[in-house]
């Protein structure tokens, strides 16, 4: 049986599938993917992104966000969206 390298449709993690039609890395992600189809307010088809920053870089994000009246998380989201639009 051949293992296929795939990316989970819900969390985006890399996994190896024994089945050709597998779309999710786990039962949990499959359930969340199913629920996301019916409750779009809770599951907005977004993907978790994790950053590892130096303390001074994180403080800079907080300060820039505060200047705009938003949180550091929201500021990072805006930067990422702008970069995606530019590419």
DSSP readout, 19-51?
Answer: STT---SSHHHHHHHHHHHH-TTT--S------
pLDDT reading at 40 higher than 80: no
- Give the pLDDT of residue 45: 60
Mean predicted lDDT score pLDDT of the chain: 82
Backbone angles phi, psi at 6, to 5 degrees: -140, 170
pLDDT digits (tens, 9 = 90+) for 2-28: 788 888 888 888 899 888 888 899 999
- Give the pLDDT of residue 58: 87
Quote the CA–CA distance of 69 and 38 in Å, as a whole number.
33
Quote the CA–CA distance of 46 and 40 in Å, as a whole number.
10
pLDDT reading at 43 higher than 60: no
Measuring CA to CA, which residue among 19, 76, 80, 31 is closest to residue 11? 31
pLDDT reading at 47 higher than 70: no
- Give the pLDDT of residue 10: 81
Quote the CA–CA distance of 57 and 53 in Å, as a whole number.
6
């Amino acid at each position: 049986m051949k293992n296929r390298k795939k990316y989970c449709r819900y969390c985006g993690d890399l996994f190896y599938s024994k089945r050709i039609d597998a779309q999710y890395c786990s039962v949990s992600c499959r359930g969340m993917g199913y629920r996301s189809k019916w409750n779009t307010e809770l599951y907005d088809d977004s993907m978790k992104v994790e950053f590892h920053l130096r303390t001074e870089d994180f403080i800079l994000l907080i300060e820039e966000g505060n200047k705009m009246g938003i949180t550091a998380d929201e500021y990072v989201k805006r930067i990422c969206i702008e970069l995606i639009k530019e590419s």
